[in-house]
Amino acid sequence: MNWIAGDIGGTKSWLAWLAQASVGGARQLRFEQVYASANFESADSLIRQFIADAGASNPPDGVLLALPGALDGQRSRLTNLDWVMDAAVMQQSLGVAVVRFINDFQAAAAGVATLTDADVIALNPQTAVSGGVRAITGAGTGLGMAFMVAAADGRYQSLATEAGHVDFAPANALQGRLLDRLRGEFGHVSWERVVSGSALGWRSARGSRGGGRGGRHGGA
């Protein structure tokens, strides 16, 4: 079995070609590559380029992709990338038997479930609650969030959210001025507008437009 697995991002996409000799057998990494997502007009063209770069004469048996956006079944309009992805359409377009999508931070949460104590660095040491809810977040081009809950057998189930798009709630006067500035620019101000990579890009662009405006923004 040959699979393409990948993390599709608003800035970059990381793809890997995995081979498995038999069901339950060890997976082998045959090829991987990172691409600038904006260089491609669609996810299909990205996958085709990856297959060509991998030197594969045939398409893989399946494609599994983690996507930065909410899923409606197996369809998604990506949050920070002008792509609409539909698993059924991609399956037919690429001639692949199986295409599956998962939310990117739901995938990250599933990975967290495999970590051991040796993989963890405690930034704020606290006593862990056995079977407690786990929250996973990370700032990339956008702000991803997911959470995990324990089932009766102790195994964790990962659940996707779009919590990065909830309202930014200022906690002091300084943050209130930031909210006012961002509201004038965007209307709705989410946490993603404040702490993600796209937020940093906006601040850099605003700061480069002139000393006066950049100075006022820096003071916000």
Query: Around Cβ 209, how many Cβ atoms within 10 Å?
Result: 10
Q: Between these two residues, 31 and 199, which has the higher pLDDT value? A: 31
pLDDT digits (tens, 9 = 90+) for 125-172: 888 788 888 888 888 888 888 888 888 887 888 888 888 888 999 999
Domain segments of the chain as ranges: 2-106, 173-219
102-128: b (≥16 Cβ within 10 Å) or e? bbbbbbbbbebeeeeeeeeeeeeeeee
CA torsion through residues 126, 130, 133, 135, sign: positive
With cut-offs at 50, 70 and 90, classify the pLDDT of residue 215. very low
Its CATH architecture, for the domain 2-106, is 2-Layer Sandwich (3.30)
For the entire predicted model, the pTM comes to 0.74
Give dist(CA 131, CA 145) in Å, integer: 19
With cut-offs at 50, 70 and 90, classify the pLDDT of residue 218. very low
Give dist(CA 107, CA 67) in Å, integer: 9
